[in-house]
């Protein structure tokens, strides 16, 4: 979705409510983020085209279009997880083989974070540094682990977590959709319960808002208010990057 989006969706999946936003931010002219809330299934996706690379916006838009077109052929949670994983692999191959730019050395790619919810189980799929958080019992937990150079440095003890955002290589990814012919997809599965809130977002959100800022917004009662407060919180700062977010409330 290249245009700015403001919409709330009360869906029919269990007792899930969601709201979402995407915005170019205050500096960039083009939104290379894209997001999707599936019309039939409790499937949510954010993709962040790789900034500075050719056709990053096309890559992210292609991801959400293909995920939106996904129709499950089987029932059962494990079968559907397999179908989502296969869809991401097919998307990766298509972008990797794309002829979207004239320069054969140009890199075309995107992050992806997706959440699928069934039987009170959330399955998270991700590649890159777009994130999924869960807010439960007044505490914020990051479900995903960034596929980035600075995260690798943090894991090796070469960099403190609080230094990562301001590091000159903070936006260098170690894994992205479309860059290589084959891709490793990280998957994390966990139970959700009434009162939980999920937040999917691109790095344009968490690079501007710290965990306490995010928690302050997630304390709001309705997803529409949460989504708007998160977006305005980013836009009130530098907002040097595009920002996208999906908030899901489990009643």
Alpha helices, DSSP H, located in 13-76:
56-68
Sheet holding 16-23, edge to edge: 5-10, 16-23, 243-250, 197-201, 131-136, 139-142
**Residue showing tokens 């996706």:** 45
Query: Residue 96: its pLDDT value, please?
Result: 93
Pairing relation of β-strands 112-118 and 121-127?
antiparallel
SS3 assignment, position 166? coil
Domain annotation for the chain: domains and CATH numbers: 5-250 (3.60.40.10)
Give residue-wise pLDDT tens across range 214-248: 999 999 989 999 999 999 999 999 999 999 999 99
Pairwise CA distance, residues 150 & 26, whole Å: 25
* Contact criterion met (CB below 8 Å) for 154 and 225: no
Give residue-wise pLDDT tens across range 89-125: 999 999 999 988 878 778 899 999 999 999 899 999 9
Give residue-wise pLDDT tens across range 38-92: 999 999 999 999 966 778 999 999 999 999 999 999 999 999 999 999 999 999 9
Supply the pTM of this predicted model.
Answer: 0.93
Phi/psi at 206 (5° precision): -75, -15
């Amino acid at each position: 979705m290249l245009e700015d989006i403001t919409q709330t969706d009360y869906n029919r999946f269990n007792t899930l409510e969601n709201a979402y936003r995407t915005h170019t931010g205050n500096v960039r002219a083009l939104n290379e983020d894209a997001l999707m809330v599936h019309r039939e299934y409790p499937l949510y996706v954010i993709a962040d085209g790789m900034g500075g690379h050719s056709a990053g916006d096309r890559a992210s838009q292609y991801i959400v279009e293909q995920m939106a077109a996904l129709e499950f052929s089987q029932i059962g949670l494990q079968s559907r997880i397999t179908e989502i994983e296969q869809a991401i692999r097919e998307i990766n191959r298509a972008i990797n083989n794309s002829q979207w730019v004239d320069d054969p050395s140009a890199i075309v790619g995107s992050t992806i974070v997706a959440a699928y919810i069934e039987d009170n189980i959330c399955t998270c799929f991700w590649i890159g540094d777009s994130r999924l958080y869960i807010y439960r019992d007044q505490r914020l937990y990051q479900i995903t682990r960034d596929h980035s150079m600075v995260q690798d440095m943090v894991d090796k003890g070469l960099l403190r977590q609080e230094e990562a955002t301001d590091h000159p290589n903070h936006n260098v990814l170690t894994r992205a959709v479309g860059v290589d012919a084959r891709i490793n997809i990280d998957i994390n599965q966990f139970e959700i319960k009434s009162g939980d809130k999920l937040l999917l977002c691109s790095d344009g959100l968490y690079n501007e808002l710290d965990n306490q800022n995010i928690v302050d917004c997630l304390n709001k009662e309705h997803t529409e208010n949460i989504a708007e407060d998160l977006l305005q919180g980013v836009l009130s700062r530098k907002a040097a990057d595009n920002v996208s977010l999906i908030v899901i409330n489990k009643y």
